[in-house]
Amino acid sequence: MSFQNNIFFQKVKDYSVSKEMFELHHNPEYDLLMTFPKPSLDKLPSYYESDDYISHTDGKRSLFERVYHFIKGIALKNKLKLINAQSAKGKLLDIGAGTGDFLVVAKNDGWNITGIEPSAKAKGIAINKGVNFADSLSDLESHSFDIITMWHVLEHVPNLEDYLSELKRLIKPTGTIIIAVPNFKSFDANFYGRHWAAYDVPRHIWHFSKTAIEKLFEEKGIQLTAVLPMKFDSFYVSLLSEKYKTGRMNFIRAFFVGLKSNLNGKKTKEYSSHIYILKNQ
């Protein structure tokens, strides 16, 4: 894996925490965008220090947060249905488990669960819900998981090469890896441009296309077998993008942009976010 000959793509602002400007660079070999400069490991945690980082809380302070958690409830049922379609109930690892709701649903359905979560705040909430955590991937036994999930997490990892190698090490020979990430080739990404909320720099270090996911995992001996749309994401991302672009959440406009993105996705197969089903070989 070598990211050479990168091309400047555009500048993007960190709207939610630091207000700093970053650049996106495009790698044509993988069709991958990279945030530049990449924050140092020492500084990276400071970019997550915000009460508005919703996945690290169970907050329902505003209409936006209440809508988020309503949609999250629907998404949890869909995620459970998806993992049950891939494997008989066994060992499940969720990386970036947040406040643990997905693992709680899976545990109640009979899965043997383990979580990884760097945020002490989110992890504390999840532990109170009965979620078991490992401190790091290196602590886990090789070839021990039937399913590994990363719901909007892979875009955050500082060292992509090492992380993909660890996923390969941890998954059983017949196991399945499920990755959900934003898609910078979607209609809403093009529509909002530098205001597109799913760029979320510098927390999102990597910005994936279907080509990028397929090639990166193929190099590790893991095959992409299916790509599924995340249709709710276009509405959520459009709502945040409206706030970044205009200073307020224009619910009606965001709804129509999200709807148009999904309709466009039916033709182009490029949705706001995708779920990738990857099988070990």
Give residue 249's pLDDT. Answer: 87
pLDDT tens per residue across span 2-28: 788 899 999 999 999 999 999 999 999
Mean pLDDT (the chain) is: 93
> Among candidates 265, 275, 96, 277, which has minimal Cα distance to 189?
265
Supply the pLDDT for residue 51. 65
Query: pLDDT value at position 54?
Result: 47
pLDDT at residue 103, as a whole number: 97
Distances (CA, A) of 183 to 10, 70, 173: 16, 23, 28
The pTM assigned to this predicted structure is 0.93
Nearest Cα neighbor of 131 from 168, 92, 76 is: 92
Domain contains 230: yes
Owning domain of residue 244: 59-193+219-280
pLDDT at 60: 54
Q: Is residue 39 in a domain? A: no
Rounded distance between C-alpha atoms, residue 148 and residue 146, angstroms: 7
Q: Does the pLDDT of residue 35 top 70, yes or no?
A: yes
Extract the tokens encoding 150. Answer: 């990363």
Quick one: pLDDT at residue 62?
61
Tell me, what CATH number does 271's domain have?
3.40.50.150
Domain assignment present for 213: no
Please state the domain count of the chain.
Answer: 1
Given pLDDT bands bounded at 50, 70 and 90, which one contains residue 217? Answer: very high
**What's the pLDDT score for residue 49?**
81
- Tell me the per-residue pLDDT of 39-57, one tens digit each, with 9 for 90 and over: 999 999 899 887 655 455 5
> Where would I find the beta strands (DSSP E) of the chain?
7-13, 21-27, 32-36, 91-95, 112-116, 145-151, 171-182, 206-207, 222-229, 273-280
pLDDT (average), residues 19-38: 97
Q: Which segment of 65-69, 85-89, 106-110 scores lowest on mean pLDDT?
A: 65-69
Question: What would the mean pLDDT of 109-138 be, rounded to a whole number?
Answer: 95
Give how far Cα 134 sits from Cα of 93, 131, 178, 267, Å: 10, 10, 19, 42
3-state secondary structure of 44: helix
